[in-house]
Amino acid sequence: MKLSKLVKTFESFLLWDKEEIKENENEINEIIEKLYEKRTKIEEKIRRCDDKKEEDKLKEKLKAVKKLIKKAKKEFI
């Protein structure tokens, strides 16, 4: 799943109230799992990357994913 789609989905989850969060707990856990998978894939790409510019872009994406994971833990767990 693309990072932009993960962000949009996550943002929509943040607009829910407590009752909706409890009802859709499986969806939230699924998105959090996808964020962890995305983080792992980006870290792997960084290790393989030879181009400095590409590596910098990947590091920015990794930073964004880590922020989303941190926010998800704070809001939902």
Domain definitions of the chain by residue range: 3-76
Q: What is the pLDDT of residue 33?
A: 93
Helix-helix angle 3-14:52-76, to 10 degrees: 20
b vs e for 63-73, b when ≥16 Cβ sit within 10 Å of the residue's Cβ? ebbeebbeebe
Q: What is the pLDDT along the chain (77 residues), one digit of tens a residue?
A: 677 887 888 788 778 878 888 888 888 899 899 999 999 999 999 999 999 999 999 999 999 999 999 988 888 76
pLDDT at residue 6 in the model? 79
pLDDT at position 1, please? 67
